[in-house]
Amino acid sequence: MAYVEISLSGLELDNPIIPASGTFGFGYEFADFYDINILGSIALKGTTAQARYGNPLPRIAECTQGLINSVGLQNPGVDRVIAEELPKLKKVFGKKAIANVSGFSVEEYASTARKLDDEEQIGILEINVSCPNVHDGGMSFGTDPKCVYEVTNAVKAVCKKPVYMKLTPNVTDIKAIARACEDGGADGISLINTLLGMRIDLKTRRPVIANKAGGFSGRAILPVALRMVYDVYETVKLPIIGMGGISSAEDVIEMMLAGATAVEIGAENLVNPYACRDIINDLPKVMEKYGINSLKDIIGGAHR
């Protein structure tokens, strides 16, 4: 029998599969496709203190084995997320969700996280210091170890639930950023967010996306994500949620061998709304193929 259960900072998950923030809405939208209770958890759409419309159109550009997006954290703001979105999710999802928090100052990160920390439905706070699609926020914090430490420390000071820092790959030294998270008191790390990329329209000779550049995601970035998860696993003593280019049960096992305890599925949800369900269903037979009895046993296996 294949054991797919994992434990994430005390949160027991039936399996390690989590739809990534920004690719699964607030979760309940996918309940029309299948029973979303089969998921390990759900990383909710990125939430900020105030409502945001996001970036101007166009926001999406297709790429080989991926896409570029520049949505810009469009969301209704934390108060409406709590009052409207979480109750909708509760009707169709009986497990704890992961709240994804973004901000434009240290204080804003902390105040938004504190509000979500009070919600019974939330099991983990994922603090996004890595969004490449907003100005003066997100990635501007996540590229500086000092800023990452300050955000981590401030959020931990006001929250009781586990805090996972979501890191950008657009840095020279991911190990230094990971150490800053650990020093700041983080309970775990999520990585990677999107790479910076762009496309140019040959007819107009202008960037396809109105914001010029955006976040490059999809199957093409899996090798980059694996390398960074591998490096961070060797650097800190924190559990890791690995993500970036995962599209199959084989990819999940590869990411866990690199050091991830759980994984998030991102762009693949936009291609196939059944992606997470299919991966969960495929995991036992792929585990059997490679002689794996329990997923807990393979975490960081590539380091041994």
The catalytic residue positions are 131
The verdict on whether omega for the bond into residue 284 sits within 30 degrees of 0, i.e. cis, is: no
